[in-house]
Structure 1
Amino acid sequence: MSSFNLKVNGNKVSVTADDDTPLLWVLRDELNLVGTKYGCGIGQCGACTVHVDGVAMRSCSIPASRLTDSDITTIEGLASDKLSPVQEAWKELDVPQCGYCQAGQIMTATSFLKQNPSPDNEEIRSAMHGNLCRCASYNRIEKAVALAAKKMS
């Protein structure tokens, strides 16, 4: 076990974990930030997506100890006093069914829209392709990403 510092949602925090402990488990078990979900454990489903220096990354595949100089944002830190445009679009279109994957979907969409603020439907579909949804809410997810892009412009 080692102690190291992370910057999570704008706050510097000290954690103690094994050097190879994935960020997902540090967030959930050490920092009680449980909005980031465990899905597959191999970085393929997207449920554990967070932003590392503004880029969407799978937290189940990154050792937390390697992120001491990074800015980590979870779903809890995405918005401060009001919902982000992506969260607003999700709410407006009533996207979630079970909701399990939605934090990862929102984090992926937010990072994507920062890189491509005016995407077409094919670009949205391609960007969101790596995030799995057990309920198959893909059409509503794509519509919400398009709506969020309009809200952000």
Structure 2
Amino acid sequence: MIRYYQELVLYLNRTLGDRQTAADVTQETFLRLLDRKACEPIEQPRAFLYRTALNLSIDLHRRARVRRAEELDVLDREGVHDERCPQEEVSRQQQLQLLQRALDELSEPCRRAFLLRKVDGCSHAEIAQRLEISRDMVEKHIVNAMKHCRVRLKAWGGQG
């Protein structure tokens, strides 16, 4: 089965357009194969690997589409606020303090990925390179951080 590894990476690279993602999906494909509980031998191993990889690619595409559709909550809102209104300024400061508190609860890699994206404006590829993780992991960290912040802000009575 391992002889199909390079072939599958090349196929997925052409399909997905990203070598790192192709390698990740290939690795996940082989992990699925190892986790398989069936004792029956696979009659067509190459077809089995390609079908599994194709299904994982479809799942990846669906997850990416859902992530893009998610609201980006308070950090992505570009509201115009009046600096002359003291109540709005106090509210904004409280919101930022709650957000900082929520971010402090995150793991270091998750927090760093989130801040590099939202504060520094780095692309997912740049973040992956800086943190030495896959682009998929970058996306997962950012989505998890956003969900965590949203939940915590709601729980603490902030906007969420």
Provide the TM-score with structure 1 as the length reference: 0.32
Select the structure that is richer in helix: 2
Select the structure that is richer in strand: 1
Mark the structure with the bigger radius of gyration: 2
Higher relative contact order (CA 8 A, sep 6+): 1
